[in-house]
Chains A and B, each alone.
Chain A
Amino acid sequence: MNPARMLEVRKNVLKQNDVIARALRDRFRAQGTLAVSLVSSPGAGKTTFLEKTLTLLKPHFRVAALVGDLATENDALRLARSQVPVKQITTGTLCHLEAAMIEHALEDWNLGQLDALFVENVGNLVCPASYDLGEDLRIVLLSVTEGEDKPLKYPTIFNSADVAVITKIDLAAAVEFDERAANANIQAVRPGMQVFKVSAKTNEGMDDCLQFLADAFTERSQKMTV
């Protein structure tokens, strides 16, 4: 029998997504817009965190948000209370956002010049890890009620993120959250990652987190003018 004939190809399976993501990233950069995505498990508090973030940033920056969800538009309605432009991406049964959905959502949306575009992914700590959305900054959220070992259970998505935000810190004592263990676990799967602790309900820790974002927006817009 002849040896098998092999045809070398070397093609990235997610090439299509990556090409669109790269184009989006270039476009955000050219416009001086910082794209920030949020990933977490369902119920970690992405929407509450984002609503508070948009409300507090609105007086100082031009911000907008895209929010992905399987079936409802509830999150967009909640975020709309912050009175910034918000658009829902309903994914149907798809468990994650893809770059093409971001591109499509932006098509008929005239936003002018934005300082920042937030993209809230579908609540899921698995699938979103594989898809580049063209974001500049990926924030992974972890609520104190979920347990300190989440980073070890989902190392792929924690490793893919740039910043971690521990949410619902006002409940830390009630659920005996071990902050040191959580930090150690985050650093184990993503050494050097910056971690913020916040409560979007009481505003505890929000200042530091918003200052970090504000600095990132400013840096982006300065780079554009240079």
Chain B
Amino acid sequence: MHELSIAMSIVDMAQEEAARRKVYIEAVHLELGTLSGVVKEALLFSYKVACDGTLLEGSRLVVKDVPIQVYCSSCKMPKTLKSMQLFCCPDCGTQTPEVIHGKELTVTALELKQ
């Protein structure tokens, strides 16, 4: 359970931006890869706790799931995996060790209060 410390990092980062730009934040947008090792539900819960008593209290965390995208050396193009339990091209079955997307744990945007 490391989602609380991840949530605190997100809140710290957003607070810093908010203070620097003198704005109020309504929501934090996050890209979360399937391979990030972070559980979305636990992160959403932890986010609320991490926001308590900060400038971000009452703000939302908007999570965009990023599926695992791999490179298929046979099809010679990126493919999206159907299951994280099978790193094979969904179309031709070639093993696909090369991961292109899916490890994201990235704050992409801050939604500001009007």
- CB-CB under 8 A from B108, the residues of chain A are 8-10
Q: Is the CB of A130 within 8 A of B9?
A: no
Distance of A7 Cα from B38 Cα, bound (Å): 24
Asked if B55 CB lies within 8 Å of chain A CBs, one says: no
- CB-CB under 8 A from B88, the residues of chain A are 188, 191
- CB-CB under 8 A from B114, the residues of chain A are 1-2, 4-5
Residue of B nearest to A192 (CB): B97
Q: Is the CB of B95 within 8 A of A192?
A: yes
Asked if B75 CB lies within 8 Å of chain A CBs, one says: no
Q: Smallest distance from the beta carbon of A159 to chain B beta carbons, Å?
A: 6
Q: Is the CB of A16 within 8 A of B35?
A: no
- CB-CB under 8 A from B23, the residues of chain A are 7
Q: Is the CB of A7 within 8 A of B107?
A: no
The proximity string for B residues 36-73 relative to A, scoring 1 for CB distances below 8 Å and 0 otherwise, is: 11100000000000000000000000000000000000
Q: Is the CB of A9 within 8 A of B110?
A: yes
Q: How many of A's residues come within 8 Å of B, CB to CB?
A: 33
Q: Smallest distance from the beta carbon of A218 to chain B beta carbons, Å?
A: 25
Distance of A124 Cα from B11 Cα, bound (Å): 26
- CB-CB under 8 A from A5, the residues of chain B are 111-112, 114
| CB contact list, B76-103 vs A, under 8 A | 84-88, 95-97, 99
Chain B binder among A76-84, A150-158, A171-179: A150-158
Q: A130-B2, A157-B37 are in contact. Are A152 and B85 (CB under 8 A)?
A: yes
Q: Is the CB of A159 within 8 A of B87?
A: yes
Majority SS of interface residues in chain B?
mixed
Distance of A94 Cα from B106 Cα, bound (Å): 22
| CB contact list, A157-188 vs B, under 8 A | 157, 159-160, 187-188
Q: A7-B23, A95-B1 are in contact. Are A155 and B37 (CB under 8 A)?
A: no
Distance of A127 Cα from B6 Cα, bound (Å): 11
Q: Is the CB of B99 within 8 A of A6?
A: no
Distance of A4 Cα from B110 Cα, bound (Å): 10
Q: A7-B112, A187-B95 are in contact. Are A96 and B17 (CB under 8 A)?
A: no
| CB contact list, A1-34 vs B, under 8 A | 1-2, 4-14, 16
- CB-CB under 8 A from B110, the residues of chain A are 6-7, 9
